[in-house]
Structure 1
Amino acid sequence: MSTRHNAAYTALLAAALFGATTPLAKMLLGALSPFMVAGLFYLGSGIGLGIGIVFQRLFRTAREQKDQSHIRLAEVPWLFGAIAAGGVAGPALLMCGLNTTPAAASSLLLNLEGVFTAILAWVVFRENVDLQVFLGMVAIVAGGVALSWQPASAGMSLGALLVVAACVCWAIDNNLTRKVATNDAMMIACLKGLVAGSVNLGLAFLLGGRLPGLFNTASAMLTGFAGYGVSLVLFVVALRNLGTARTGAYFSVAPILGVALSLAFWPELPSTLFWIAATLMAFGVWLHIRERHEHPHTHELLGHNHRHRHDEHHQHTHDFEWDPAKPHSHPHQHQPVTHKHPHFPDIHHRHSH
């Protein structure tokens, strides 16, 4: 299986984990305040990944510890901007909007996250797009609209505008996270979880909330670890290999995966709109997976640190022993080269068109 397809399936797995969060929350958590739910989910994500990072480092060699990528000072503003937009502002705006917006209308509006993510990537960050990718995005978003469409819920109240603002925040988060995607994905997701969890729990306590019982607290944090933590790690890895707009498009299928899981927990005959949505989203994903973007392009001199194998873009030498069969991480430099091959706007292909 090609690296390009692996990246697509990584993004889809991230979407599946995130999509499973909603029905699992409904089954496990009961009537907790929205800020408490968000806080426990994010905190479970941060703590779970933090434990994973500790265990990971215990089994690394001294060479692997030395060569592990670290967030550079110049990247810190991008990371904190992503955390502030997606982990703090986004959930706060969503929770405020949900107070006065019907659930069906909120689900419909949340599909705008993928749209805003793609628009920012294409217009502001100059990520390339061709007709096939654009049509795939349109099909996926149309599927999301069909999935949550209820004519009676149409309208744009203040609450609805707040939900739209939350989508803008998450779109900013997705595009800023791409700027630091070469770093350790677990560390990025861990920091997001710890900061966002602490802020949301603080808001919940300020509004008079209290922690639920031990079982519900543990269940919420475990759900958050999988649906927010592991999902975000996979999302960052996909960003690294696919670019922002394409990863956002794959991630936009999360709602239908959540609905499918809900039907497994609470069996009922799926509606006609469900099958229309599933067909549109499957068609959109197919258009993205079969994309073949190829043209002569030039790589400028580039130095960075990320996990890699030796391929046509990684032909450097080493001053230490290494196993060619295993991916490894260390600071390395790419020499200027002009060539032609199929590619995505990944960390090595951010050239202009």
Structure 2
Amino acid sequence: MKLSVFHALCAAVLFGVSTPLAKLLVGEMPAILLGGLLYLGSGVGLGVARLVRDRGWQVSGLSWQEWPWLLSAILFGGILGPVLLLLGLLLVNAATASLLLNLEAVITALLAWLVFQENTDRRVVMGMLCIVGGGVILAWPNAETLAANGLGCLFVALACCCWGIDNNLTRRISANDALFIAAVKGLIAGLFNCTLALLIGYSLPKPPILLETATLGLFGYGISLVFFVLALRGLGAARTGAYFSTAPFIGAFVAISLLGETASAKFWLAAGLMAIGVWLHLTERHEHEHTHESLGHRHRHIHDAHHQHDHEFAWDSSASHDHFHTHEVITHKHPHYPDIHHRHQD
């Protein structure tokens, strides 16, 4: 649980810092090309990292039933979402965009609870509302600014819808190699948007800007996504989305620390609300008798209460290992979260 929360917050930090930096690059190139280069930078960087880690190319481990989930997630989160966000950033200021980005957590949670039947309780809902409420207070624009940028707000809101869908689709395959998932998403989405931009007639930016964009994409979109997938594996979509909604606050905190900006009273009020929300999630206790249906999948694991199976190879019983394994039907009671082994509604 604690490690998964750490992964979710790492994802939020990287993405939160990348948003204002991406704003600086919006004027340097068209939104569709910028979105493509950000994802292409993440895909190439993570692809190289995976080759180094595995000492060569290794198969993905995804089954043929899982590829539609990944490709659909790439369509919504990798192709449509970034372009819509960057179009929005052309028309709205950073404060308004930060406010609207909190819609992602709400949409992610609603889809997880209503469509994908992920379990929840009052404490989790209250925690998410505190975190999202903190983001709203932090970046609240005046009514005139919001009304004047209606189209830009619509683009950002649609981007949040795409990412909410992406988060829930990615949850379905989060037991697989997070590095592979993030690398493939970056490569496919980046190549698609870059190719489309070049066909339209746009030109690549100068090498220094190209390198800056690729580096920002690697950290803000690539490594952030790796952490996000790892968090999905242990927390489920709704809880991961709630922790991830601290990204606007984290970005503002970094700006205050590094850029010398002053902290207003609403900043500290937002910080307090978000801290309460995180505390509510950290202290959640979800426990009841539940039944695990037969399930076959592959991921790194140790032989705990959920992993009691035989092996056709020699293995160290004290070490974690990775292979395809089948879970037998089991009914028991213990504290748990909607991780890859506890995806029941109640």
TM over 0.5, shorter chain:
yes
- In 2, the alpha carbon distance for the partners of 1:36 and 1:312 equals 48
Match of 1:22 in 2: 19
Q: Any idea what the Cα deviations from partners look like across 1:56-97, whole Å, max 9, x if unmatched?
A: 22179xxxx6xx761111111111111101111112222333
Amino acid in structure 2 at the alignment position of 1:45: S
Residue 40 of structure 2 is aligned with which of 40, 43, 61? 43
Give the match's secondary structure for 1:109: helix
Counterpart position of 1:54? 51
Letter matched to residue 130 of structure 1: D
Structure 2: distance between partners of 1:5 and 1:328? 21
Tell me, in whole angstroms, the C-alpha distance in 1 between the residues paired with 2:122 and 2:221.
Answer: 32
Q: Which of 134, 146, 160 does residue 154 from structure 1 map onto? A: 146
The answer for the alignment partner of 1:135 in structure 2 is: 126
Secondary structure at 1:265 match in 2: helix
Residue 178, structure 1, aligned to residue 171, structure 2: yes
Give the superposition deviation at 1:157.
2.4
Is the contact made by 1:29 and 1:216 (CA closer than 8 Å) also made in structure 2? Answer: no
How many aligned positions are there?
344
Alignment partner, residue 288 of structure 1 = 281
- One of 286, 290, 295 as aligned partner of 1:297: 290
Distance 1:303 1:161, change over 3 A: same
The answer to whether the 8 A contact 2:290-2:333 is kept is: yes
Q: 1:29 to 1:325 in 2, by over 3 A?
A: farther
Q: CA deviation at 1:227?
A: 1.5
Unaligned ranges ≥5, structure 1: none
* Segment drifting more, 19-28 vs 189-198: 19-28
Distance across 2 between alignment mates of 1:79 and 1:295: 32
Residue among 304, 316, 335 paired with 2:309? 316
Report the 3-state secondary structure (helix = DSSP H, G, I; strand = E; otherwise coil) of the residue aligned with 2:91: coil
CA 1:311/1:69 → structure 2, altered by over 3 Å: closer, same or farther?
farther
2:204 is the counterpart of 1:211 = yes
Q: Assess if the C-alpha contact under 8 Å between 2:60 and 2:180 holds in 1.
A: no
Corresponding letter in the other structure for 1:224: G
Partner Cα separation in structure 2 for residue 159 and residue 285 of structure 1: 30
| Structure 1 residues 218 and 323: alpha-carbon distance in aligned structure 2, compared to 1, 3 A threshold | farther
Does structure 2 retain, via aligned residues, the 8 Å contact 1:40–1:201? Answer: yes
- Deviation at 1:190? 0.6
Aligned to 2:112: 121
- TM-score w.r.t. the length of structure 2 is 0.93
2:244 maps to 1:251:
yes
If the length of structure 1 is used for normalisation, what is the TM-score? 0.91
Q: Distance in 2 between matches of 1:234 and 1:41?
A: 17
| Alpha-carbon separation, structure 2, partners of 1:168 and 1:36 | 21
How much does 1:26 deviate? 5.7
CA contact (8 A) 2:111 2:164 kept: yes
Taking a change above 3 Å as real, the CA distance of residues 29 and 115 of structure 1, as seen in their structure-2 partners, is closer
| Alignment of 1:199 onto 2:196 | no
Question: CA RMSD for the aligned pairs?
Answer: 2.1
User: For 1:338, what is the secondary structure of its paired residue?
Assistant: strand
- Is the alpha carbon distance of 1:235 and 1:216 closer, same or farther for their aligned partners in structure 2, counting shifts above 3 Å? same
1:342 alignment partner, one of 322, 335, 344:
335
What residue is the counterpart of 1:265 in the other structure?
A: 258
Cα distance, 1:291 vs structure 2: 0.6
Give how far 1:250 is off.
0.7
CA deviation map 1:173-230 (0-9, x unaligned): 0000111111111111011101121233234435543323323222221221111111
Could you say if the C-alpha distance between residues 32 and 261 of structure 1 is closer, same or farther in structure 2, counting changes exceeding 3 Å?
Answer: farther
CA deviations on 1:10-61 (whole Å, 9 max, x unpaired) are 111111111121344467887343333322221110001111111122179x
Deviations 1:292-334 (A, max 9, x none): 1001111111111111111111111222122233321101111
140-149 or 267-276, which deviates more: 267-276
Residues 1:29 and 1:307: Cα distance change in structure 2 (over 3 Å): same
2:161 alignment counterpart: 168
Structure 1 position 74 matched with structure 2 position 65? yes
Q: Does 1:306 align with 2:303?
A: no
Gaps of 5+ in 2: none
Q: Which residue of 2 aligns with 1:31?
A: 28
Q: Secondary structure at the match of 2:324?
A: strand
The structure-2 alpha-carbon separation of the partners of 1:154 and 1:217, relative to structure 1 and needing over 3 Å to count, comes to closer
- CA deviations on 1:231-265 (whole Å, 9 max, x unpaired) are 11111111111100001111111111111222233
Q: Does 1:232 align with 2:225?
A: yes
Write the distance in 1 (CA, Å) between the matches of 2:21 and 2:176. Answer: 30
- Counterpart amino acid of residue 41 in structure 1: L
Q: 321-330 vs 169-178, which deviates more?
A: 321-330
